[in-house]
Amino acid sequence: MMKRILDLMLALLALLVLIVPIVLVALLVRITSPGPVLYWSDRVGRHNCLFKMPKFRSMRVDTPAVATHLLENPKAWLTPIGSFLRKSSLDELPQLWSILRGDMSFVGPRPALFNQDDLIALRTACGAHELVPGLTGWAQINGRDELPISEKIRLDAEYLERRSLVFDIRILWLTFIKVLRRDGVSH
């Protein structure tokens, strides 16, 4: 319950502080490529329930709905500002909506795509499917796009065992540092 209250307070504060950048990014997405500003992705949440997760659109509208690393040439699918949005993590800002709704938390395993059956099965096997997915997580700060699924699962299971307010604050701080350095983003 305390984590949910902190999520709500942090999300509202973040929205107040970030409203201008959010509007600017939305305008840039709209101006630089045809299609909607937001991409609503079907994601797997707590207890393996599906929810719609918004992101600023960084890929063309005709991009296949698969994990980016499965695309033959991911860079070919990026919008003119897509690479910048991903490397700066600005594409993630609309997920504050998912945190306000309770579909996500600030810290937890990143929500799997609906069709990542291997990841979903492994998270279920280790019990990590019981966690509310996060904007960031232990696996995110330990490799992000560069980690194989088996390592993500090991880190998700470790987060499940170690989760606490202090651990979440540590993960949030390390995320802030990683975003500033643009570590672990492969496209």
Q: Which of 55, 59, 58, 57 is CA-nearest to residue 77? A: 59
Mind listing the pLDDT tens digit for each residue in 84-138? 999 888 999 999 999 999 999 999 999 999 999 999 999 999 999 999 999 999 9
What is this structure's pTM? 0.88
Q: Is the dihedral of CA 62, 187, 96, 107 positive or negative?
A: positive
Sign of CA pseudo-dihedral 142, 90, 50, 11: positive
pLDDT score of 146 more than 90: no
Closest CA to 91 of 100, 81, 99, 101: 81
> Does the pLDDT at position 145 exceed 80?
no
Instruction: Yes or no: say if 3 and 165 are a contact pair by the CB < 8 Å rule.
Output: yes
Copy the structure tokens of residue 125.
Answer: 């096997």
Rounded alpha-carbon distances, angstroms, from residue 83 to 4, 53, 74, 90, 99 = 32, 20, 10, 10, 24
The answer on pLDDT for 184 being more than 60 is no
What H or E segment, with its residue span, contains residue 118?
A: helix 117-126
Residue 185 — pLDDT band, cuts 50, 70, 90? Answer: low
Q: What percent of the chain has pLDDT over 90?
A: 79
pLDDT single digits (tens) 42-64: 999 999 999 999 999 999 998 88
pLDDT at position 23: 97
User: Alpha carbon of 153 to those of 17, 19, 44, 143: distances in Å?
Assistant: 33, 34, 15, 12
Reported confidence tier of residue 67, pLDDT bands at 50, 70, 90: confident
Each residue's pLDDT tens digit, 13-49: 999 999 999 999 999 999 999 999 999 999 999 999 9
Confidence of residue 147 (pLDDT cuts 50, 70, 90): confident
Nearest to 40 by CA among 82, 88, 95: 95
Above 80 in pLDDT, residue 73?
yes
